[in-house]
Structure 1
């Protein structure tokens, strides 16, 4: 059985960057370290799913409160190492985040997923019972 660990040190971030880079493909290591430093000040936490002393998945999250979700855990980044997929690690990581959210008084877990990530959508909706309930928009400035 694996366990959820918070990743906080620069060396931990360097070690897991190859996994994060599978999701955030345009991100350099230096950008990752710089952005993480700023995001940490804004309550971002990066967790790893550890199996046999090896990180096999990552989740970047923050607790937020808004008018439509109340207190919730927002998942910004969620990735299982491509070499470790289809072993149940993504399920375990997401279930651990659900527990973390409940323990911290969250009513929901929320996330966004790129339109092209069809397999991820199937995982969220069919396996993990997430509801698709809105569209997300953004405008580059």
Structure 2
């Protein structure tokens, strides 16, 4: 296994099949457009866990500063392919993001998770020791 930063258009395209398992609402063009813009504007980082030549997990995150959290790394995307879940890849990816945050002097790692993702909530809270601190509210089409 190898963890690599996905920075090129080819890397980003290669990760689409994995990310699409989490973000099924995106087609390849919209996904590529959003990843590229997030990298340019928000310092978004995308890493892939490689097993041989195949990406089996992806983490996408960006550093931020907020009055609530202070200096934090916000995880936008964390997904492991269906075939590779329960093999420890999610745990490895989260530990990597936490190490990246610490090395870059960020105090917190935060993420949101969909209401229906109870298996993910259990993973974050029970296995990874994340604390549920609130809800995320969204208003569309503003």
Shift of 1:49: 1.6
The answer for the alignment partner of 1:114 in structure 2 is: 114
What TM-score, normalized by structure 1, do the two folds share? 0.95
2: distance between equivalents of 1:122 and 1:17?
26
Shift of 1:4: 2.5
The answer for the alignment partner of 1:92 in structure 2 is: 92
Pair 1:36 & 2:38 matched: no
2: distance between equivalents of 1:132 and 1:65?
19
SS at match of 2:106: coil
Root-mean-square deviation (CA, aligned residues, Å) is: 1.0
The answer for the alignment partner of 1:15 in structure 2 is: 14
Instruction: State how 1:58-137 maps to structure 2 within 5 Å.
Output: 58-137=58-137
Gaps of at least 5 residues in structure 1 are none
What TM-score, normalized by structure 2, do the two folds share? 0.94
SS at match of 2:135: coil
Deviations 1:26-59 (CA, angstroms, capped at 9, x unpaired): 1000001111121111211111122334321001
1: distance between equivalents of 2:43 and 2:67?
19
2: distance between equivalents of 1:27 and 1:10?
16
The change in CA–CA distance for 1:11 and 1:92 in structure 2 (over 3 A counts) is same
Moved more, 128-137 or 51-60: 51-60
Gaps of at least 5 residues in structure 2 are none
Shift of 1:5: 1.4
2: distance between equivalents of 1:135 and 1:89?
26
Q: How many residues align?
A: 140
